[in-house]
Amino acid sequence: MQTARIDLHLHLDGSLNLRWAYEKALQRGAIAPGCSFEEFYGIVYANNTKDRALSILKFELMCDVLQYREDLIDATAQLVRTLREEGLYYAEIRFASQQHTKAGLTQQDALQAVIDGAAEGMTANPGIRIGIINCMMHKGDSAAFNIAENLETIRVTKALLGKGAVGLDLAGFENNCPFIDYAPLFEEAHREGIPCTMHAGEMGEGSHVLDALSMKPDRIGHGVNCVQDPAYLQAVLDAGIPLEVCVSSNVKRDLNYAAHPVRLLLEKGVKVTINTDNRVFARTNTLHEHMMLRMLGVTDEQLIRCTRNAAEAAFCDGETREWLCYRLDKEFC
């Protein structure tokens, strides 16, 4: 049975077709003219997870190839086609509009391009629906470092909410500065009525999950480090907040799937959703995530529950949720 039907946590820049990205990087001057595909591949797949500078480099490289409207459209439409081919019914693709303004696009231009790419992908590949999440970024050593860009991210997301944009995220390196310093940005997002998620408790302390909960997001990206303390885990259960769990992305360093807390989260009754994060960097897709969990003993019933959790937690409109639940009911009855 295919239980993998929804992906709620999927970064565009970490999920590009590599051959396309290489050719685009050459064309746009993001890599030296003599750089071979193998060298490019080496940068993207370098064993660099302990080296923050190298880790940032691969994300920056992927962002550098996505600075033009036509490229953002192309990349998004390609990703939608791939997701549909894999059998997904719904996905939320996220990216940070503030990372795509180097060649003159405004944040709103960049968001509109990704929305247009998703629309193109949905038209060409019926049977899948897509929402776009725009990411605020952790950058520098304080939340003040890029507060203007983050406020602009909120503004353009509000402008295109319901027109392809479905929500906001906070991404980047969660240990840059006190996590709670981002609270005013979430207050602003709540005032604007924008659904929110945020990366928390992924590479950072489990206590970040408590900070995140205090900022009242609708979901938490990762959140798996809440298992560091029973009190954190209890807070997640009490809040009933869905977690966007991305197992392969977390275990990329040593591939020890058995050590990942996902099974404990499921056992405790956390609202787990199963996602890919970065398809290229984590070398995965949604089918692979479900397959690996099945190999660890997670049952089809539990995987179906995760997919239903995702349908309930999606930042989509009521009509799309009804359509999605109808399809899942038919399949999982």
CB of 38 to Zn ion, least distance (A): 27
Stretch of residues binding Zn ion (CB under 5 A), selected from 117-125, 172-180, 272-280, 287-295: 272-280
Q: Of 117 and 172, which has the nearer Cβ to Zn ion? A: 172
Q: Of 71 and 277, which has the nearer Cβ to Zn ion? A: 277
Q: Of 11 and 305, which has the nearer Cβ to Zn ion? A: 11
Stretch of residues binding Zn ion (CB under 5 A), selected from 20-28, 53-61, 173-181, 276-284: 276-284
CB of 301 to Zn ion, least distance (A): 27
Q: Of 170 and 328, which has the nearer Cβ to Zn ion? A: 170
**Contact status: 7 vs Zn ion (CB under 5 A):** no
Stretch of residues binding Zn ion (CB under 5 A), selected from 52-60, 131-139, 151-159, 277-285: 277-285
CB of 275 to Zn ion, least distance (A): 8
Own/partner long-range contacts of 261-266 (Cβ < 8 Å, ≥24 apart): 261/224, 261/227, 262/224, 262/293, 262/296, 262/298, 263/296, 263/297, 263/298, 264/227, 265/224, 265/227, 265/233, 266/298, 266/302, 266/306
Per-residue interface string for the shown chain with Zn ion, residues 228-267, x marking contact by CB under 5 A: ----------------------------------------
Q: Of 69 and 199, which has the nearer Cβ to Zn ion? A: 199
Q: Rounded to the nearest 5°, which phi and psi values hold at 161?
A: -65, 130
Question: DSSP of 124-183, one letter per residue?
Answer: HSTT-EEEEEEEEEE-TTSTTTTHHHHHHHHHHHHHTBTTTEEEEEEEE-TTSS-GGGGH
For CA atoms 35, 36, 37, 42, the dihedral sign is: negative
Q: Give me the amino acid identity at 310.
A: A
How far is it, in rounded angstroms, from Cα 173 to Cα 142?
11
**Contact criterion met (CB below 8 Å) for 10 and 276:** yes
Which residue's CB atom is positioned nearest to Zn ion? 277
Stretch of residues binding Zn ion (CB under 5 A), selected from 19-27, 109-117, 270-278, 321-329: 270-278
**Contact criterion met (CB below 8 Å) for 5 and 307:** yes
**Strand ranges, E, within 62-128:** 90-95
**Contact criterion met (CB below 8 Å) for 100 and 111:** no
The helix (run of H) or strand (run of E) holding residue 4 is none
Q: Of 172 and 206, which has the nearer Cβ to Zn ion? A: 172
Could you tell me how many residues of this chain bind Zn ion (CB under 5 A)?
Answer: 1
CB of 11 to Zn ion, least distance (A): 5
Stretch of residues binding Zn ion (CB under 5 A), selected from 16-24, 72-80, 83-91, 273-281: 273-281
Q: Of 219 and 308, which has the nearer Cβ to Zn ion? A: 219
**Contact status: 277 vs Zn ion (CB under 5 A):** yes
CB of 12 to Zn ion, least distance (A): 11
Q: End-to-end CA distance of the chain: give it in Å, rounded.
A: 12
Residue-level length of the chain: 333
Stretch of residues binding Zn ion (CB under 5 A), selected from 186-194, 229-237, 274-282, 308-316: 274-282
3-state secondary structure of 121: helix
Q: How many CB atoms lie within 10 A of CB 42?
A: 12
CB of 139 to Zn ion, least distance (A): 15
**Contact criterion met (CB below 8 Å) for 1 and 300:** yes
CB of 123 to Zn ion, least distance (A): 27
Stretch of residues binding Zn ion (CB under 5 A), selected from 50-58, 187-195, 209-217, 275-283: 275-283
Q: Of 161 and 245, which has the nearer Cβ to Zn ion? A: 245
Place of tokens 């309930």: 312
Provide the binding-site residues for Zn ion, judged by CB under 5 A: 277
